[in-house]
Every structure is written in C-alpha cells, then in structure tokens.
Amino acid sequence: MNEQEFGSAPIGSLFVRCTVPAMVGMGFSAIYSITDGIFVGHFIGQEALAAVNLVMPIIMIITALADMVATGSSVRISILLGRGDNKEANRVFTVCLGLIATIATVFGLLGYLFARPIIGLMGADGMTADYAVEYLRVFALFMPLCCIYYSTDNYLRVCGQVNLSMTINIVCSLLNIVLDVLLIVVLEQGLWAAAVASCASMSLGAVWSLVPFVRRKLPLVFSKGWIGMRQILAIVANGSSEFFVSIAGSLFAVVVNIVLLRLGGSTAVAAAAIVEYVASLTGMVIHSMTDALQPAVSYCFGAGLLQRMRSIQRVVMSAAAVLSLLSMLFLLFGGRLLLPFFIKDGDAALFALSIRAMRLYAFSYLVSWIDGTLAGFMTAVERPWHSLAISLLGTCVYPLLFLAVLIPLWGLDGVWIHHVVAGVFSAITAVLIVRHVRLQEPTNEARAEQTRLLCLARRRKSEAQPPSAPPIASFFQPTLSFNYRRKTK
C-alpha cells in the first residue's frame, strides 16, 4: 500500500491491510522459535535448552542497540513522509542503516571474543556452559546480518510493504525449520547447528529485504549526504524506550536465570525456557501488530490528523486485549498439550514444574498488553521520555521489586507470580502517564507548510509517470495503465 493511504484509508481496512500480514509473518517467526525450542529440548537435551535461555538475553542486548536506531529512525522517516519531505527521509534511512551495521559488527566481535567469561559470570558450568558458549559465538559471527534483518522490517513497513515483510518472515522461518530438521534430526549435530540454522535463515532475509531499496522500487532509497548529530541524537532518544525495554528485559532475564539456577538448577531454567517459548507467540504477535500500525500513527501525527491517530490506537489496544485473553485461556487449559514436544520421555520433574509455571504465568496476560501498546504509541508520537518511563517500569523496576518481595514468601512460585503483580502496577502507571500527555493540534502555518510539501511530493510523483497514450490508442488505455503498474511494482 502507498504510505499516503495511512492518512486516508478507512481505519478498519487500514488495520487489516497493515496488521494481518505483519501478524502472519511474526506468527511464523514465533512458530519457528517454538519449533527451534522443540528440536533443542527434545533431540539435544535439557542442558541445551537451558543454555539457549541463558544466551538469548545477551543476544537481545546486542540487537536492542540496532533496534533503537531502527525504531527511532522509522518514526522520524514516517513523520517526514507525512510532511512530504522525501529527500530528508532518504538521508535519515541511509545514515541510520549504516549506523546499525556498524553497531552490530562491533558488538558481535566483542561477543565472540568474550563469550566464555560472559557465560561464566552467569554461574553456568559443565555441559550447560559449553553449549552456551558455542551458541553465543555462532550468533556473534552473524550479528551484522541478523541486525539488518530485524531493522529493515521497520523500513519496509514505513514504505507500506507489509506483504513483502510477511513473505520474508515466512520464508525465513520455514527455512529455519528445514535446516533444524536436517542438521539436528538427520545429521544429529549439537546446539551449534541450531544457531547456524537460525543465523543462515536471517542472513537470507537481510539480503532479500535490502534488494527493493537497492533497486529503488520503494519510497525510501539509498542516497548521499549526512544528517546532523542533533538529529541522530533525537532519533536515538526516540528509539531509547525500545532499547531500554530490551536491555532492561534482557538484564532482568539474566537475573531471573541466576535465581532459577540457585533455586531449582537447570531444571528450573529449562521450565522457564519452555514457558517463554509457548508464551512468546502472543507477545510477538501483539508487538508486530503495534509495530505494523506505528508508521500510520506517526504519519497521522506528522500530518496533523490527531483524531484519526487516536482512533487507530484504540483499535490496536482492543485487538491486543482480545488476543491476550484468548492466550490466557489457552495456557490455563491447553498449554500442557504442548509440553511433550519440548521434554524428553521420562523427565517427570521438568514436566510437572513446567505445568505449574505455565498456569501461574498465564494470569499475567490480563494486563501485560497495556504497557507495551501504550509505550509504542508514545514512541510513534515522538514522546520518547514518556515511552521510556513506561518501558523501564514495566520491564525492570516493578519486576525486580516484586521478584525480591515474592521469592522469600513463595520461593520458586514467586518467580512465576511476580509477572502478574508487576504487570498490574505497570498497566496502571502506563495509563496515568499517557493521560497526562497533551498532543496539540498543528497551527495554521504548520498546516499550510504540510499541504505545500504534500502537493510538491505529489506533483513530482505525477511528473515521473509515463506520458498518456495518444487519442488513437485511447481504447487501449486501461490495458496500458495496468501493464505499467505491473512493471513498476
């Protein structure tokens, strides 16, 4: 869809056209993640599953740096497109993608060199530590392409290419599953093979997603020039909420893993990994839905369509609430049906602990969707500090507080229950913060400037169209126009 439709298409149609491809694509990514956990847990073992859960927070810390730039720049780009300033939008896109590649290269190198000391600091030893080191080092080698894969998804959505984004996610997820079967089941390789399968599929997705930009087929293209340091800092600040939510969530996951190792050993860590795998489907789909409509919210904000912007956000939150409620019911009454896929036959202790953890964790879905959707809304309207406050409280401050309070009271059960209590307080805080934000309507001068830029952008686009057919060929004009549109897609 054209990015200008963000401000004109019916909201219901816009929601379906933006979110369905994004949710389908992310749903396949979640399925691949779950399938990956099944292969690791069922065919390699409990220690390998625990190792993946130990390493994932570290990988997320590195990708969070790239996501900070990608999220902040995509919001800025959407606002610039809403104002009709395509030239500046292209500069922001080019500079920020280069910055993402640089960040990923530097931190990937550090992750490879210091893999063993990092894993040692987490308290892992024996086979679990060995598995974790080899898993981390494979991801570190592929980190630049992995970060580009995650980042370009933001830019494709800004350009309205939600179907292409969905196709890339689906193909890469299916390729990952095929490689898992080949390397782990058929060739009986270790945990490093699971990492290679994931990284190889994401590398393909990174290259594929760059092709339309290189071929100049989208509103965003690579261009020469630089953007000021002030604008870079503003982009980083606007993406800081997503960065800190990932960093805080990853660091908190490290703390939880250390606590689990001390309270229940690798069995408790493996149980937590299973719960996260199963629960990740809902979280990833809601996150993709929020991200899919973030360009539309930012576009409407930049164009001064505030009433439409608020209507879009209400639809997002309503859909997230319904999806979360259905997920809670599934975890309570049907989640145990998935456990045999993750657990080797005869491991009764892990099975029982996973069931209890899943049932206690399920109640967090009553409120867990609220702070995430509201933080995304604050990012979309360039309120980074409000978004940051919501994110930090929901992913770090409240969870740490209630983890410290509930573990002495309930032991291992406190690890699962703290998600529920922290979610309630985080939701209340997020609503109070957003209610105090005032988004002003644009002035008449600002509206006039936006109209001028939009008219200029549309005139340039019309000038790029092919000349009309001569009168003698007017009968064939619909066919000619149709063929031209096919060639320019």
Examine the pLDDT at 106 and tell me if it is beyond 50: yes
**What's the pLDDT score for residue 406?**
92
Q: Where residue 293 falls among pLDDT bands split at 50, 70, 90? A: confident
Mean per-residue pLDDT, 195-207: 90
Residue 180 lies in a domain: yes
- Listed ranges 1-15, 360-374, 440-454; the one with the highest mean pLDDT: 360-374
**Which tens digits make up the pLDDT trace of 149-170?**
888 887 887 777 777 877 888 8
Q: Where residue 402 falls among pLDDT bands split at 50, 70, 90? A: very high
Q: Look at the chain and count its residues.
A: 489
**What's the pLDDT score for residue 468?**
42
User: Distance (Å, rounded) from C-alpha 132 to C-alpha 134?
Assistant: 6
Range of weakest confidence among 26-35, 201-210, 266-275:
26-35
Higher pLDDT, 227 or 378: 378
Q: Where residue 292 falls among pLDDT bands split at 50, 70, 90? A: confident
**What's the pLDDT score for residue 462?**
52
Residue 469 lies in a domain: no
Higher pLDDT, 489 or 458: 458
Q: Where residue 257 falls among pLDDT bands split at 50, 70, 90? A: confident
**What's the pLDDT score for residue 4?**
55
**What's the pLDDT score for residue 153?**
81
User: Distance (Å, rounded) from C-alpha 228 to C-alpha 219?
Assistant: 22
Residue 224 lies in a domain: yes
CB 260 within 8 A of CB 272: yes
Residue 274 lies in a domain: yes
Q: Where residue 437 falls among pLDDT bands split at 50, 70, 90? A: confident
**What's the pLDDT score for residue 142?**
92
Structurally, the chain folds into a number of domains equal to: 1
**Which tens digits make up the pLDDT trace of 139-151?**
999 999 988 888 8
Q: Where residue 439 falls among pLDDT bands split at 50, 70, 90? A: low
Higher pLDDT, 317 or 253: 317
Q: Where residue 478 falls among pLDDT bands split at 50, 70, 90? A: very low
Mean per-residue pLDDT, 266-270: 82
Q: Where residue 64 falls among pLDDT bands split at 50, 70, 90? A: confident
Examine the pLDDT at 453 and tell me if it is beyond 80: no
Q: Which domain holds residue 197?
A: 3-438
Examine the pLDDT at 246 and tell me if it is beyond 80: no
**What's the pLDDT score for residue 428?**
93
Residue 459 lies in a domain: no
Establish how many alpha carbons lie within 13 A of residue 368's alpha carbon, considering only the half-sphere containing its beta carbon: 24
Residue 460 lies in a domain: no
CA-closest candidate to residue 398, choices 355, 364, 356: 364
**What's the pLDDT score for residue 392?**
81
**What's the pLDDT score for residue 473?**
37
Task: State the average pLDDT for the chain.
Answer: 78
Q: Where residue 349 falls among pLDDT bands split at 50, 70, 90? A: confident
Higher pLDDT, 28 or 212: 212
User: Distance (Å, rounded) from C-alpha 481 to C-alpha 489?
Assistant: 12
Higher pLDDT, 349 or 238: 349
User: Distance (Å, rounded) from C-alpha 380 to C-alpha 459?
Assistant: 28
**What's the pLDDT score for residue 485?**
36
**What's the pLDDT score for residue 476?**
34
Percent of the chain with pLDDT over 70: 86
Rounded to a whole number of angstroms, the distance between the first and last alpha carbons of the chain is: 11
Residue 397 lies in a domain: yes
**What's the pLDDT score for residue 484?**
32
Residue 132 lies in a domain: yes
Examine the pLDDT at 465 and tell me if it is beyond 70: no
Examine the pLDDT at 33 and tell me if it is beyond 80: no
User: Distance (Å, rounded) from C-alpha 406 to C-alpha 360?
Assistant: 13
Percent of the chain with pLDDT over 90: 8
